[in-house]
Structure 1
Amino acid sequence: MISVLILTKNEAQDLPACLDSVAWCNDVHVFDSYSEDDTVEIAKAAGAKVTQRKFDGYATQRNAALNTLNYLHPWILILDADERIPAELVPELQSQVLKAPEGVNGFRIRRRDYFWNTWLKHSQMTPFYIRLVRKGKASYHREINEVLQVEGLIEDMGGYFKHYPFSKGIDHWVSKHNKYSSMEAKRWVEEHENGIDFSVRKALFGPDFSERRYHQKGLFYKVPGRPLIKLFYLAIWRGGFLDGYAGITYAVLQAIYEYFIVLKTKELLNNRPTKRSVRHTPEYQVSS
């Protein structure tokens, strides 16, 4: 009924637990970006089918995985190596795909983020993610914080899956988000220069969650003081302080990430080549 897709790059630390959580599936695919650790060996030992492709972008890599692999089943569950499928979610996954009517081609599933084994119940940014799609009916867009677009209807599913974004430590998280912030700043400047019009209506009432989030982020980038707003939103408004030290730390890290984007955006804008007016000297000059 369901095939599993896991994208990897040097995931020897996280992959074993991820594979254990999908041991119920008889068609697990690991799409690897030529890992330099034991990722491939771990995947093969667990019985997964391994395909390697040179990484050339987040969205393009994911689309290649969706479009080129030989899946046995009509539905694909998409995971990262630092994510886990709890045993209680498996019956829900199987039940939903069996009764999914024609035209429903995707399911959103709640994600629980963990920091130092603490569930970020209040301070988590976004609870729902599209992770279960019908084969041939979904594609990724944007190269950073990529958006999964589904042809047809999307429904919400009960249950949740687990995410451990800090499994490799704070240093890895900061390094990754330093890279992400550079990509976000570059994307924002390009969209700004191309005159992309972000819509308040679509941000609030767009029919698709991914579309709403895309316009929300685009509008948020225009708001001054974004890092402080994000800190207040996560730590106070959403009640991140109720998650204890882990919740406050997560809110601070997200605010720092936002500040990186602000600084790098300003740097890119300041370093843009300016059009200078050219003073033309006449071919002949008459003096009196």
Structure 2
Amino acid sequence: MNRQTSIDPATASPVQPAGAAGPANDNVSVLILTLNEEVNLAACLASVGWSDDIVVLDSFSQDRTVEIAKSFGARVYQRHFDSEPAQRSHGLREIAYKHPLVYLPDADEITPPALRDEILAVARAPNRTEVAFHVRSRTMFMGRWLRWSGLYPTWFVRLVEPHRVRFEREINLRTVADGPEGKLDGHLLHYTFNKGLNAWLDKHNRYSWHEARESLRSLETERVDWLAALIGSGAARRRALKTLSFRLPCRPLLRFLYMYVLRGGFLDGRAGFVYCGLLMTYETMIVTKMIEIRRRERGLPL
């Protein structure tokens, strides 16, 4: 069983029992998941300082993450991390919030004033029916927004009613809403490289094992949805293209050419070239691990 401890700052309001409902009003609560985020957390918290109910669910960080969270007046809880869906579900269902809506930025994301104003407008809307809202992010790298190579626009669910959503997939998390969904016009700023290139490579090295297994499963059980790949929109088209990519030769090179040439990554300058090269590296990890998995299953060394 995962252990949870409360480390509430003295200035914070007492924690309500899990599931207690807060009053409807014109503000929102905030939930941020952390693990060794001292590099990112202060800027993230400063950008959501307009909320009067900020919760940090920490995975027993070994750096100053908890200290920084407490210094901003956040309610801090700790739970051992097992998977992102389980951690997010715990954060939304086992912790009580002051407000009906909970905003879910990642620790390396900054919330600009325009998005803040839009979120607060949603909270004030008297006849709102949506239970989840999607937000676009702008991937920042080497001092610029990767407008072309950063897979823009990609939408993420970031504003929810806590008990009306559930989460699927350990990698490339999918949020499923029990009710109507909406989209916000504002953008998050995503500083995915703030912890350094080694951290980015370590994370994608872990992710590549999941992607390799998903690729092999898709090859065995799925067919390409050509209609969605050609004329579909949003998640359906991305899923169809990903399923197609599992079947193509020279995947790393094709990923680079797709991102750098077809999607216009060259327009992002040096940052775009480097980023597309990193994505090609990630694709190489996936393909190599697919080979390893197949050989291990046959009792052969890599």
TM-score of the two chains, using structure 2 as the length reference: 0.83
Q: How many residues align?
A: 272
Which of these residues, 88, 94, 102, is aligned with residue 62 of structure 1? 88
- Where 1:44 maps in the other structure, the secondary structure is helix
Q: Does 1:186 align with 2:213?
A: yes
CA distance in 1, matches of 2:216, 2:126: 41
Matches within 5 A, 1:93-108: 93-99=119-125, 101=127, 103-108=129-134
Which of these residues, 102, 106, 119, is aligned with residue 76 of structure 1? 102
- Where 1:268 maps in the other structure, the secondary structure is helix
Q: Which amino acid aligns with 1:182?
A: W
Asked whether the equivalents of residues 111 and 163 of structure 1 are also in contact (C-alpha less than 8 Å), the reply is yes
Partner of 1:218: 243
Q: Displacement of 1:44 after TM fit?
A: 1.0
Structure showing greater Rg: 1
Q: Displacement of 1:102 after TM fit?
A: 5.1
Q: Which amino acid aligns with 2:93?
A: N
Q: Does 1:147 align with 2:191?
A: no
With 225-234 and 265-274 compared, the bigger mean Cα shift is at 265-274
CA distance in 1, matches of 2:124, 2:228: 32
Partner of 1:268: 293
Q: Which amino acid aligns with 1:255?
A: M
Q: Does 1:109 align with 2:149?
A: no
Assess, with a 3 A threshold, how the Cα gap between structure 1 residues 228 and 14 changes in structure 2: closer, same or farther.
Answer: same
Q: Displacement of 1:171 after TM fit?
A: 1.4
Asked whether the equivalents of residues 148 and 210 of structure 1 are also in contact (C-alpha less than 8 Å), the reply is no
Assess, with a 3 A threshold, how the Cα gap between structure 1 residues 197 and 58 changes in structure 2: closer, same or farther.
Answer: farther
Matches within 5 A, 1:1-288: 1-99=27-125, 101=127, 103-127=129-153, 128-190=155-217, 192=219, 195-197=221-223, 199-201=225-227, 209-210=234-235, 212-273=237-298
Assess, with a 3 A threshold, how the Cα gap between structure 1 residues 191 and 237 changes in structure 2: closer, same or farther.
Answer: closer
User: RMSD across aligned C-alpha pairs, in angstroms?
Assistant: 2.1
CA distance in 2, matches of 1:156, 1:139: 18
With 224-233 and 196-205 compared, the bigger mean Cα shift is at 196-205
- 5+ unaligned residues in a row in structure 2: which ranges? 1-26
Q: Which amino acid aligns with 2:280?
A: A
Query: CA-to-partner distance for each residue in 1:143-183, whole Å, 9 max, x for gaps?
Result: 11111111222222111110001111111111111111122
Asked whether the equivalents of residues 57 and 91 of structure 2 are also in contact (C-alpha less than 8 Å), the reply is yes
Q: Which amino acid aligns with 1:51?
A: Y
CA distance in 1, matches of 2:295, 2:192: 33
Q: Which amino acid aligns with 1:16?
A: A
Q: Displacement of 1:77 after TM fit?
A: 1.1
- Where 2:163 maps in the other structure, the secondary structure is coil
CA distance in 2, matches of 1:177, 1:230: 15
Assess, with a 3 A threshold, how the Cα gap between structure 1 residues 178 and 201 changes in structure 2: closer, same or farther.
Answer: same
With 22-31 and 60-69 compared, the bigger mean Cα shift is at 60-69
CA distance in 1, matches of 2:117, 2:45: 17
- Where 1:69 maps in the other structure, the secondary structure is coil
With 90-99 and 214-223 compared, the bigger mean Cα shift is at 214-223
Asked whether the equivalents of residues 76 and 135 of structure 1 are also in contact (C-alpha less than 8 Å), the reply is yes
Assess, with a 3 A threshold, how the Cα gap between structure 1 residues 6 and 212 changes in structure 2: closer, same or farther.
Answer: farther
Assess, with a 3 A threshold, how the Cα gap between structure 1 residues 143 and 87 changes in structure 2: closer, same or farther.
Answer: same
Asked whether the equivalents of residues 189 and 268 of structure 1 are also in contact (C-alpha less than 8 Å), the reply is no
CA distance in 1, matches of 2:129, 2:42: 35
Q: Which amino acid aligns with 1:113?
A: T
Query: CA-to-partner distance for each residue in 1:209-260, whole Å, 9 max, x for gaps?
Result: 4455444423322222221221112111121111110011001101110111
- Where 1:136 maps in the other structure, the secondary structure is helix
TM-score of the two chains, using structure 1 as the length reference: 0.87
Asked whether the equivalents of residues 28 and 100 of structure 2 are also in contact (C-alpha less than 8 Å), the reply is yes
Q: Which amino acid aligns with 2:150?
A: Q
